[in-house]
Structure 1
Amino acid sequence: MGLTGFRERILKLRAEQAKSIPSRVFFNHFFSIIYCIDCNEEKYDLKKIPFYNGIKIKNEKFNIEEVRKLLWNSWSTEYAYRIGEKIDNDDYYKFSLHWNFPQAYYSVYLSMTAFHETQGIANEQHEKSIKLFGNSVKDKHYPSAISFYTSGLKDEFEYSGLPNFKGFPKENSVLSKIECLEDAELQLATFLKTTRKKNAEDKRSRLQKQNHRDFRNAKGEFRKSFKKEHWDIIFKTIPITSVFNLLYRLRIKANYRDIESFVNADIDFKSFHSSLGQLIYYLNFIHEAYIVKAIGIAEYEKILKAFPNHLNEETALKRFEENIKPLE
């Protein structure tokens, strides 16, 4: 092989490796979330949360049928996600990402909306629902295991719920191995930071299409360069960035072009699938427990038992028996 051919091979290899980096980063980030949850000894002890103890139905027009439909949709979607565990095929894990990402998001979104229904705040606007979740996290309505978030203006982000995070080191690699809680929280802080920045960039793009008056130059055109003062106008309108923003970001990546970077990546697809499944399981546990607290265990059991048992025996039924019943 000539020198030219060798160089071409090296360049091609580097290009392929570069394509896989985003997916390897996402793998690390979601593994970090599960690492932090697993390390939290109080993750199932909801009684220590004052908000949980005071939950009751607040919806004046409450209709339990709406809760049933939302929960059944959530459980059906979670079951569809977990089918891959029964198949246990590496190629399946890889090529199922197109629908796995939306499944993960919608399962937890639906269970959260079912809880919001009991509180009279359910709506069909995803951004509004995510904002409600973020505000609840900020108000300490959720277990500390998933109560991490970031807020603030450009270059002034503040990180909460990550007690071991002390700032970003000079040599911070998002591809580093996670060997301790400090490593995991650093990854989470990075994930929150990049997601908040991306939310701001997406909003800037929407404002540019509108030629928003706040960002016009002297010629009446949308300014090409943004100073901190301009970015801050945008950041002031962006709610805190939480785990739900991370899931929503993953759902958006389910389009064909973004998914290709995942499919071509050199990652453990089975572990990625498992980590994401564990996050679905935990978030659904929380909202199901909150629903039980609101409507009562007897009403919840009616909804649970009317659903085909073989579809949720490893998910909702298991959560109810092992983690929710002991809370009552």
Structure 2
Amino acid sequence: MGLRDIFKKRREEEAKSIPSKVFFNHFFAINYCISCDDDRYNLKKIPFYNQIKIKNSEFDIEQVRKLLWNSWSTEYAYKIGEKIDNSDYYKFSLHWNFPQAYYSVYLCMTAFHETQGIANDQHEKSIKLFGNSIKDGHYPSAISFYSSGLKDDFEYKGLETFENFPKNNSVLTKIDCLEDAELQVATFLKTTRKKNADDKKQRFKKQNDKRFFNKKKEFSKSFKKHHWDIIYKTIPITSVFNLLYRLRIKANYRDIESFINADIDFKSFHSSLGDLIYYLNFIHEGYIAKAIGIEKYEKILNDFPSHLSDDSAKDRFKNYIKPLK
């Protein structure tokens, strides 16, 4: 192999690793934003939290227990890697780590939705409910960032320092301050919202939706503004749950290869994602405890099999949820 071929191969390998470096930066940025909010664990500052009660006329606490236990056991499975503490394990466990991260948070949120009578089995609907709650101010400001709007006219909320994207914006910029972190989060929201629109376009194409037909009565290859407006009007606001869901669907073989080939700190990536699981689960556990009562919640927690737990849920309860009583 000549020198030219070696450089070409090196460039190809570097290009393969870019997507994983981008995701690493994005999730690090999210946790950076959360950590900068001094009130991130003070749920009492949220009017919605103070008014939480059971709204499900057919409420069954057993269903909440099952959902919480599944969430905690999934979180435990995700965190097993910390006990192994092996760089190769962190790298090759991504296949199942991404779905674990998403499902732990999703199940915990669904347990809260169960108390409110809005639980369902449709992920898109659940994510939309979460987004609407973010928009309505039902969550801590630390996690209440989102984007909305039509093509090339997105709005970004919940990012206090973000104003616009600089001309030299890079998704690989080192994060040294809150401004850097919020710029990364805004970029993540932007690319995710655009990807959701592209996915919706493909879905409409498979359905042969006549709203997108050209004069030849074929699905248009050249989309104009009014076409995109139709699509974007069907897309709810884009929030952190969309970001986690996007990561979950990257757990197929081809996408995961870009992560495995990357030159990143896999342990730090694992920790960043784990920290996000921890925080989002804390919020929904706090909401559940408020709805069903601290005593009933503590019983569900204490009855959870100890061999399936790394005590993360107990830690959250002891340090952040019980003091809210």
| TM-score range for the pair, normalised by the shorter chain length | over 0.9
Cα-to-partner distance string for 1:20-58 (whole Å, 9 max, x where unaligned): 000000000000000000111000000000000000000
Look up the match of 2:5: 8
| 2:156 alignment partner, SS class | strand
Residue identity matched to 2:78: Y
Q: Using the alignment, how far apart are the partners of 2:238 and 2:289 within structure 1?
A: 27
The answer as to 2:316 corresponding to 1:319 is: yes
Look up the match of 2:25: 28
The answer as to 2:104 corresponding to 1:107 is: yes
Give runs of aligned pairs for residues 287-302 of structure 1, distance below 5 A: 287-302=284-299
Q: Contact conserved, 2:76 with 2:310, CA < 8 A, in 1?
A: no
| 1:152 alignment partner, SS class | strand
Deviates more, 1:227-236 or 1:60-69: 227-236
Look up the match of 2:57: 60
Alpha carbons of structure 1 residues 313 and 96: separation in structure 2 relative to 1, 3 Å: closer
Cα-to-partner distance string for 1:101-135 (whole Å, 9 max, x where unaligned): 00000000000000000000000000000000000
* CA positional deviation for 1:313: 4.7
Q: Using the alignment, how far apart are the partners of 2:19 and 2:35 within structure 1?
A: 25
Alpha carbons of structure 1 residues 217 and 41: separation in structure 2 relative to 1, 3 Å: same
Give runs of aligned pairs for residues 72-83 of structure 1, distance below 5 A: 72-83=69-80
Look up the match of 1:145: 142
The answer as to 2:117 corresponding to 1:120 is: yes
Alpha carbons of structure 1 residues 313 and 253: separation in structure 2 relative to 1, 3 Å: closer
The answer as to 2:240 corresponding to 1:243 is: yes
Look up the match of 1:38: 35
| 2:132 alignment partner, SS class | helix
Q: Using the alignment, how far apart are the partners of 1:49 and 1:14 within structure 2?
A: 49
Residue in structure 1 matching 2:205, options 195, 205, 208: 208
* CA positional deviation for 1:219: 1.1
| 1:142 alignment partner, SS class | coil
Look up the match of 2:174: 177
* CA positional deviation for 1:19: 0.4
Residue identity matched to 1:162: L
Residue in structure 1 matching 2:303, options 294, 301, 306: 306
Q: Using the alignment, how far apart are the partners of 1:81 and 1:207 within structure 2?
A: 35
Residue in structure 2 matching 1:280, options 277, 282, 289: 277
Give structure 2 stretches of 5+ with no counterpart.
none
Look up the match of 1:191: 188
* CA positional deviation for 1:314: 2.9
Q: Using the alignment, how far apart are the partners of 2:320 and 2:299 within structure 1?
A: 18
Q: Using the alignment, how far apart are the partners of 1:246 and 1:184 within structure 2?
A: 15
| 1:151 alignment partner, SS class | strand
The answer as to 2:254 corresponding to 1:257 is: yes
Aligned residues between the structures: 325
| 1:237 alignment partner, SS class | coil
Q: Using the alignment, how far apart are the partners of 2:52 and 2:307 within structure 1?
A: 30
**TM-score for both structures, normalised by structure 2:** 0.99
The answer as to 2:230 corresponding to 1:233 is: yes
Look up the match of 1:269: 266
Residue identity matched to 1:271: S
* CA positional deviation for 1:87: 0.4
Q: Using the alignment, how far apart are the partners of 1:53 and 1:6 within structure 2?
A: 66
Q: Using the alignment, how far apart are the partners of 2:144 and 2:84 within structure 1?
A: 33
Cα-to-partner distance string for 1:36-84 (whole Å, 9 max, x where unaligned): 0011100000000000000000000000000000000000000000000
Q: Using the alignment, how far apart are the partners of 1:236 and 1:181 within structure 2?
A: 31
Q: Using the alignment, how far apart are the partners of 1:40 and 1:80 within structure 2?
A: 28
The answer as to 2:128 corresponding to 1:131 is: yes
Q: CA RMSD in A?
A: 0.8
* CA positional deviation for 1:323: 0.3
* CA positional deviation for 1:210: 1.1
Give structure 1 stretches of 5+ with no counterpart.
none
Cα-to-partner distance string for 1:175-211 (whole Å, 9 max, x where unaligned): 0100000000000000000000000000000100111
Q: Contact conserved, 2:25 with 2:184, CA < 8 A, in 1?
A: yes
Q: Using the alignment, how far apart are the partners of 1:268 and 1:226 within structure 2?
A: 40
Residue identity matched to 1:242: S
* CA positional deviation for 1:310: 4.5
Residue identity matched to 2:99: P
Q: Using the alignment, how far apart are the partners of 1:33 and 1:252 within structure 2?
A: 19
